[in-house]
Chain A
Amino acid sequence: MTEAKWPLFEVFIRSRTGLAHRHVGSVHAVDAEMALQNARDVYTRRGEGLSIWVVPASSITASDPADKEMLFEPTASKIYRHPTFYEVPDEVGHM
């Protein structure tokens, strides 16, 4: 029963609309070349993409959910980073 596992790769695809590569799912493959082909065969069957990135899942470093408050909450109070913070009279028009 003990069969060696094929590594997991995460798949990112840039869609036709020219947006950045977006995570779409994963595939198993023995190396990066096979991962690219598998990603093509699995995730672009309906013309979803124009470019593929594959990354070994083991290479991804993720932030710790326990650090969420420390990492992401301090930004909530910096409302001056958003355009709506500033008042411009209507008669000035769009800015």
Chain B
Amino acid sequence: MYTQGLSGPVDQPDQGHDPEREARFQARIDAEERIEPNDWMPEGYRRTLIRQIAQHAHSEIVGMLPEGNWITRAPSLRRKAALLAKVQDEAGHGLYLYAAAETLDISREELVDQLLAGTAKYSSIFNYPALTWADIGTIGWLVDGAAIMNQIPLCRCSYGPYARAMIRICKEESFHQRQGFEIMLTLARGTVAQQAMAQDALDRWWWPSLMMFGPPDSESQHSDRSMRWRIKRFTNDALRQKFVDATVPQSQFLGLTIPDPALHHDPKSGHWNFGPIDWREFRRVIAGDGPCNRDRLRARRAAHAAGRWVREAALAHAAKRRARAQAAE
């Protein structure tokens, strides 16, 4: 569920640069046709998609960890079941996205290896810790809320398999943000300690949530090409503003204070103007120095390493069965 405007198109010298084919390709995109796996596509388009879809898939998988941290400690059985189902959905969404990337001639194994080697990126938001139960509410409300803003336009992405995966993901995810908001509402209406817990979580997650939309348009070098290819339909800043406009009234309903003294409503534009985002923090967390980057990768590497003998055994057994079936013929 979590794309982030981390990277624009990959600049790659196209092999056999073919302006005529490219023009035809662009015409198809402009006509809102979907590009399908076997269709001709510029190498830059293919690589840009692989990188974006892979980042998106990795984010789903790494995103299971902060929330997974609370499955065993969920405060009621109803919450426990809902949280487990939600984190399970994220595994499913990672799976759909890896499959979409695989249509572009790269295997899930290669993509996972890139993640584990630390050479692939994933959304910066998951390098923050989930410290209290209110963080689970806040992740659902803000992080999933931000993700949905990002993802709905992707349902109309020019690449068919990605767009279809996003349609399925958006449909399944419609309960995630509501689940989070319901947790926040319960806390906001609860004891003083619960209200403080909710406010503390909002204080910690607000700015990282705004960073989820990626760097400001002024610094986003490759945005134009992704927009032209309809891999992206709105700029980072436009989506960020949309998110803030939708979220401020929800925080007011909850009686929680957004930790931004500069936040104010501009009657002229109708938007909520917000204060400056600390982009140094964003770059630092992306580069590997967020509070949890190392823990997240360590957990993924451990699961992958611990599962290796299982994956090998399953393959070995299937090979034995095939051999026996052949021998019996």
Q: Count B-side interface residues using an 8 Å CB cutoff.
A: 26
* A3 to B102 alpha-carbon distance, docked (Å): 17
Is B38 a contact partner of A64 (Cβ separation < 8 A)? Answer: yes
* A42 to B322 alpha-carbon distance, docked (Å): 25
Which of these, B39, B96, B113, contacts A65 with CB under 8 Å?
B39
With A4-B312, A65-B40: A28-B96 Cβ-Cβ less than 8 Å: no
Is B317 a contact partner of A30 (Cβ separation < 8 A)? Answer: yes
Q: Count A-side interface residues using an 8 Å CB cutoff.
A: 20
State whether the Cβ of A1 lies closer than 8 Å to any Cβ in chain B: yes
Is B318 a contact partner of A31 (Cβ separation < 8 A)? Answer: yes
State whether the Cβ of B182 lies closer than 8 Å to any Cβ in chain A: no
State whether the Cβ of A5 lies closer than 8 Å to any Cβ in chain B: yes
Is A5 a contact partner of B109 (Cβ separation < 8 A)? Answer: yes
With A3-B109, A4-B312, A25-B168: A30-B318 Cβ-Cβ less than 8 Å: yes
Q: A4-B315, A65-B40 are in contact. List 15 more A-B contacts (CB 8 A).
A: A3-B109, A3-B308, A5-B109, A6-B315, A25-B95, A26-B99, A27-B95, A30-B314, A30-B315, A30-B318, A31-B318, A31-B321, A42-B92, A45-B92, A62-B38
Interface residues of B (CB under 8 A from A): 36, 38-40, 88, 92, 95-96, 99, 102, 107-109, 113, 165, 168, 172, 308, 311-312, 314-315, 317-318, 321-322
Interface residues of A (CB under 8 A from B): 1, 3-6, 8, 24-28, 30-31, 34, 42, 45-46, 62, 64-65
